[in-house]
């Protein structure tokens, strides 16, 4: 929501690519813009499903420390409060997202118990990526237990939705993948999706350890757009 032309950008994506679902990730800082922009999109594109995902790193003290911004937690709560009524719209979902790491594994259960009463459709748990498999193995039991509970706590509409079913499948496959060499879901990075970074660089994968081989091009070079870069 840093860009004031956010609505126009999403409009163009939907109209030109005919995407059925849009997921918007945010830290919740720009509450006024979120409150203004998202309802416009919800009402304008009734056949497109929108999900607003707000990042939450922990309780207030921890979240503010991680974000290095005093008041960051309060902005999350404020954003949820101003957007909760739009959950009555059939094409809008409101959710939280937290990353499980070895540093926060001891506080997430309490956090999830707290957010279970908040006006959201789902509080997603993401297993930290770009770390050694051994470290992921140490988190497997926590991830499995907490994720299962979170899916049970999700709203009825979320569980019935495409994304609700997809996220549950991702959770189940993640459990299988952690301690197995078998490929359950082949990586489609660079094929089905790409990442555009703030500096204009286009990569096939966001994982930092692959940055030396994942760069495809840049939208800042020779006035190229994303289609030109992918085709190059």
Residues 103/50, Cβ–Cβ less than 8 Å: no
What distances in angstroms separate CA 48 from CA 44, 58, 97, 154, 158, one per listed residue?
Answer: 9, 31, 21, 21, 15
Weakest-pLDDT range from 5-19, 101-115, 215-229: 215-229
39-73 pLDDT per residue, tens? 999 999 999 999 999 999 999 999 999 888 899 99
Give the residue-averaged pLDDT of 97-113: 92
Residue 220 reports pLDDT greater than 90: no
Q: 181 with 200, same domain?
A: no
Q: 131 with 176, same domain?
A: yes
Residue with the larger pLDDT of the pair 108 and 198: 108
Q: What is the pLDDT of residue 162?
A: 94
Q: 125 with 144, same domain?
A: yes
CA distance 45 to 118: 27
Asked whether residue 84 is assigned to any structural domain, the reply reads yes
CA distance 188 to 193: 7
The number of folded domains in the chain is 2
Q: 193 with 173, same domain?
A: no
- Counting Cα atoms < 13 Å in the Cβ hemisphere of 21 gives 10
pLDDT tier at 111 (50, 70, 90 boundaries)? very high
Q: What is the pLDDT of residue 175?
A: 86
pTM of the model: 0.81
CA distance 37 to 19: 18
Give the residue-averaged pLDDT of 134-152: 92
pLDDT tier at 180 (50, 70, 90 boundaries)? low
Give the residue-averaged pLDDT of 106-118: 95
Residue 123 reports pLDDT greater than 70: yes
Residue 223 reports pLDDT greater than 80: no
- Give the residues across from 90 on adjacent strands: none
Q: 97 with 199, same domain?
A: no
Q: 176 with 225, same domain?
A: no
Residue 200 reports pLDDT greater than 60: yes
Q: 198 with 176, same domain?
A: no
Q: 182 with 193, same domain?
A: no
Asked whether residue 101 is assigned to any structural domain, the reply reads yes
Q: 78 with 192, same domain?
A: no
Portion of the chain with pLDDT greater than 70, in percent: 93
Give the residue-averaged pLDDT of 167-194: 72
Domain that holds residue 228: 188-232
pLDDT tier at 183 (50, 70, 90 boundaries)? very low
Q: 123 with 198, same domain?
A: no
Residue 96 reports pLDDT greater than 50: yes
Asked whether residue 48 is assigned to any structural domain, the reply reads yes
Q: What is the pLDDT of residue 227?
A: 72
Q: 72 with 97, same domain?
A: yes
Q: What is the pLDDT of residue 182?
A: 53
Residue 148 reports pLDDT greater than 80: yes
Give the residue-averaged pLDDT of 122-145: 88
Residues 6+ apart with CB under 8 A from 14: 22, 45, 48
Q: What is the pLDDT of residue 184?
A: 43
Asked whether residue 1 is assigned to any structural domain, the reply reads no
Please report, in angstroms and rounded to a whole number, the separation of the first and last CA atoms in the chain. Answer: 30
Q: 145 with 177, same domain?
A: yes
């Amino acid at each position: 929501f840093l860009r004031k032309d956010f609505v126009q950008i999403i409009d163009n994506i939907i109209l030109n690519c005919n995407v059925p679902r849009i997921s918007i990730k945010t830290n919740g800082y720009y509450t006024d813009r979120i409150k203004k922009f998202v309802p416009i999109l919800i009402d304008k594109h009734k056949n497109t499903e929108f999900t607003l995902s707000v990042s939450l790193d922990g309780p207030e003290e921890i979240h503010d420390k991680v974000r290095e911004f005093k008041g960051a937690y309060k902005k999350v709560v404020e954003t949820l409060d101003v957007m909760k009524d739009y959950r009555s719209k059939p094409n809008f979902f409101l959710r939280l997202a937290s990353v499980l790491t070895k540093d926060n594994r001891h506080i997430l259960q309490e956090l999830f118990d707290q957010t279970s009463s908040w006006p959201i459709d789902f509080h997603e748990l993401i297993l930290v990526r770009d770390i050694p498999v051994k470290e992921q193995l140490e988190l497997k039991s926590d991830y499995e237990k907490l994720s299962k509970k979170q899916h049970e706590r999700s709203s009825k509409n979320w569980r019935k939705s495409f994304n609700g079913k997809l996220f549950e499948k991702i959770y189940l496959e993640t459990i299988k993948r952690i301690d197995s060499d078998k490929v359950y879901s082949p990586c489609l990075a660079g094929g089905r999706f790409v990442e555009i970074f703030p500096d204009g660089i286009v990569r096939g994968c966001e994982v930092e350890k692959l940055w030396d081989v994942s760069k495809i091009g840049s939208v800042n070079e020779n006035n190229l757009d994303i289609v030109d870069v992918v085709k190059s």
